[in-house]
Amino acid sequence: MKKIIFRMLVLLCVVGNASAQVEPQWKLSFESKAKWITLTSTGTVVVATNSALIGIDPDKQQKIWEVKALDQIDKASFVEIEGTSFAMYESTNPLKSLKTQTTIIDFTTGKIVYNNVDADLTIREKYPLLDIGAILLEAKAGKNIFLALVDINSGKERWRLDLPERKTGFGLGALKQTIKSLFDASPITDLDGNILYPDDKVLKRIDAQTGKVLWGNENEKTIGRLNLSDDGQSVYLGSGKKIMGINVADGKDQWKDPLKISGDFQMFIPSRDKKMYVVTSREINLIDTQTGKAAWKKPAEFDLPFASLRFTNEGILVFGTTEKESMFDYINFEGKGIWKRSYKTDRPIVSFRLTAKGILFANAEEANMIDLKTGDDTIWKKRIKLKGRPVTFVDEKMALIYSDEKLYRVNLEGNGYELLAENIKFEGKDEDVKRIEVLENGYLLSSQQNVWLIGTSGKVIYSKYYKPASVGTALKVLGVVGQVYATVDNLEVVQDPNDPNAMVIQRSEKGDKIVGDISKAIANRKKSFSTSDANFIMTRVEDGENKRVGMVKVDKRTGEEKGKIVLKTLDPIFDVDYVTGQLFTLLNGTVSGSEFFCYKL
């Protein structure tokens, strides 16, 4: 009888007035008190209690695995390994040892892939090498840094390899080796199933079965991106001011002389006819991969540091930027400029899109259209003057640009734009438009606490403001609102050697077998997100003299509330699946145990 009364009280605490609010779809009970909850990229929910780590499948409405653990697991340390169904986390058990343990788990099955039970290790880097069914770890134990190759099926280390040249401690050298750039090289596997590992300045080929170093090739500077040739016989690398081609079999230099470059190396882009683009911070060049000689008479230089590039049917559009200014340049496939000069802006560009008419860009001062043929901005008679950081939406026919309480609509099939709406004033502190969506009946502008729908004529259809929840809850929500699950799923991006204008995706069959259906799960979630018909807002609810936290579902087309959940706490343990429209909450009992609730908003 007491248990029945307790459960009824729990239900009332979470749901409140059942006639006005959503009741839980289903629930689960746990023996221990809950500590935290997190939603993975596949939709699996992971819950940590005082005695276990638990995996929940919301589709099946049941617990799918449980790992008993008295360890203290920090939520911040639970990090997914991109492109896989694995996550790594750190834990401590003061009753056993003060040492921190590192665990790698398959969060779809609960299988422990790796655990350093007997060692006090710090994992510095992790690299999934799915083609050989392993994860390569760069770890630190005391003052020693080493590599460990962990077999995914058995969870055991195949081998360890010391890295004596790696620095530890707090010196400048150690700091440089700790901070990884976006363009730093990562280990790759060759066609023989061995590992090409960039150990700072030295490229090492390591036998994946034994951990033996087959050869090492030393360079003057830290190694940048690695790129295998089509036949797998050569590997190309950038190091400092030089580009090298190396024979995979013996590690010897393939070219007579390295190719000297200007600026810092950024990336390789494979092309057809055994050619390859080399991109640095200051230039782009096309080289012959067999000889290392430049195919162009001279590199195409940039006026500003390189940021990104895009291929078109006529050439290569390069975008460069600094903290103060930005530029575009357009280069043909012979390395010559298509425009008379690069196009520069006085403020850094925060958004741009290549359209049929040209390059639409926006910064804190203006929005404008650059003619792709001429490189000037004469398509529009007058630029759009902006103030503050703009928010944009662009599709094939139309663009929307918001800034300083004004919304502009750009006709990408014509040559003009119009001021569609103004005086768009969001309520609340630091509230402004964060996202623009196009609906059947208008344009949805939203932030964390505001939702406005503006019709195609510019008339405001509705505007809604919800008071923010507690500070702690608001900070939790801020990191996940509108999250699109874009985890890379075992893909290798290369350029089609028969068409230098198209980028294609190649799949790794061995990798597919390892990760199973994770790519399908993520793809389905991204598809569901794009068709979502509601906004989910965490808000503060007044209940007499009490303040509560609630989740509200707002219909994007009408602004009507389609569901509301009120929680009897200002700091709930929860997570939200914005793809499926589900709220997951945990409620601890007064003595022991906890309950998991799932609400459909």
pLDDT tier at 118 (50, 70, 90 boundaries)? low
Flag whether pLDDT at 486 surpasses 80.
no
Is residue 526 over pLDDT 70? no
CA distance linking residue 37 with residue 588, whole number of Å: 13
pLDDT of 568 above 80: no
User: Rounded mean pLDDT of the chain?
Assistant: 81
Looking at residue 185, its pLDDT comes to 79
- Poorest-confidence range of 288-297, 491-500, 522-531, 564-573? 491-500
Question: So what's the pLDDT on residue 228?
Answer: 87
Predicted local distance difference test score (pLDDT) of residue 283: 95
Report the pLDDT averaged over residues 485-495: 29
Q: Point out the least confidently predicted range of 295-309, 404-418, 419-433, 569-583.
A: 569-583
From the list 533, 531, 529, 565, the residue with the least C-alpha distance to 549 is: 565
In this structure, what token pair is assigned to residue 215? 């050869």
> How confident is the model at residue 174, as a pLDDT?
37
Name 66's bridge partners.
Answer: 54
Residue 55 has pLDDT above 70, yes or no: yes
- Give 532's contacts (C-beta < 8 A, 6+ positions apart): 578, 579, 581
C-alpha to C-alpha distance for 437 and 454, rounded to whole angstroms = 11
- Rounded Cα distance between 551 and 67, Å, is 31
Lateral strand order in the sheet of 157-162: 122-129, 134-141, 144-151, 157-162
Structure confidence at residue 565 (pLDDT): 81
For residues 237-263, give the mean pLDDT. Answer: 91
Using the predicted structure, report yes or no on whether residue 194 has a pLDDT greater than 60: yes
Give the residue from 596, 601, 587, 600 showing the smallest Cα distance to 64: 596
pLDDT beyond 50 at 2: no
113 pLDDT band, cuts 50/70/90, is confident
The predicted structure's pLDDT at residue 292: 92
The number of residues in the chain equals: 601
Backbone angles phi, psi at 295, to 5 degrees: -85, -25
Q: Find the mean pLDDT for residues 555-575.
A: 82
pLDDT at 179: 38
> What is the CB neighbour count within 10 angstroms for residue 145?
21
pLDDT at 10 over 50: no
Is the predicted pLDDT of residue 17 greater than 60, yes or no? no
Write down the residue that tokens 């190719």 correspond to.
Answer: 259
462, 477 contact by CB (below 8 A) = no
pLDDT at residue 517 greater than cutoff 80: no
User: Looking at residue 14, what is its pLDDT?
Assistant: 43
Q: How high is the pLDDT of residue 597?
A: 92
Q: Which of 310-324, 383-397, 555-569 has the weakest average pLDDT?
A: 555-569
| Helix, strand, or coil (residue 568) | coil
For the ranges 356-360, 502-506, 539-543, the one whose mean pLDDT is highest: 356-360
Report the percent of the chain where pLDDT is more than 70.
79
pLDDT of residue 13: 41
Contact, 583 vs 565, CB < 8 A? Answer: yes
Per-residue model confidence (pLDDT) at position 16: 38
Q: What are phi and psi of 130, to 5 degrees?
A: -70, -25
Higher-pLDDT residue of 453, 154: 453
SS3 of residue 194 by DSSP: coil
506 pLDDT more than 50: no
For 540-553, give the DSSP string. EEEETTEEEEEEEE
Q: What is the distance between the alpha carbons of residues 434 and 436, in angstroms, rounded to a whole number?
A: 7
* Residue pLDDT, tens place only, 304-326: 999 999 999 999 999 999 999 99
564 has pLDDT over 60: yes
Range name among 168-172, 370-374, 534-538 with the lowest pLDDT average: 168-172
- Would the pLDDT of 386 be above 90? yes
Confidence of residue 142 (pLDDT cuts 50, 70, 90): confident
Question: Region 565-572: what's the mean pLDDT?
Answer: 72
Distance from C-alpha of 207 to C-alpha of 213, rounded to nearest angstrom: 6
- pLDDT score of 495 more than 80: no
The Cα-based distances of 95 to 50, 76, 77, 483, 593 in angstroms read 13, 22, 20, 38, 21
Contact yes or no for 460/454 (Cβ under 8 A): yes
548-554: long-range pairs with CB below 8 Å, 24+: 548/16, 549/469, 549/470, 549/473, 550/469, 551/576, 551/583, 551/599, 551/601, 552/466, 553/581, 553/601, 554/451, 554/464
Question: Which pTM does this prediction carry?
Answer: 0.77
Q: Residue 168 — pLDDT band, cuts 50, 70, 90?
A: low
Percent of the chain with pLDDT over 90: 49
Best-predicted range by mean pLDDT (82-86, 233-237, 573-577): 233-237
Mean pLDDT of 423-450: 93
More confident residue, 11 or 455: 455
- Nearest CA to 66 out of 112, 117, 115, 110 is that of 110
- What's the pLDDT score for residue 498? 38
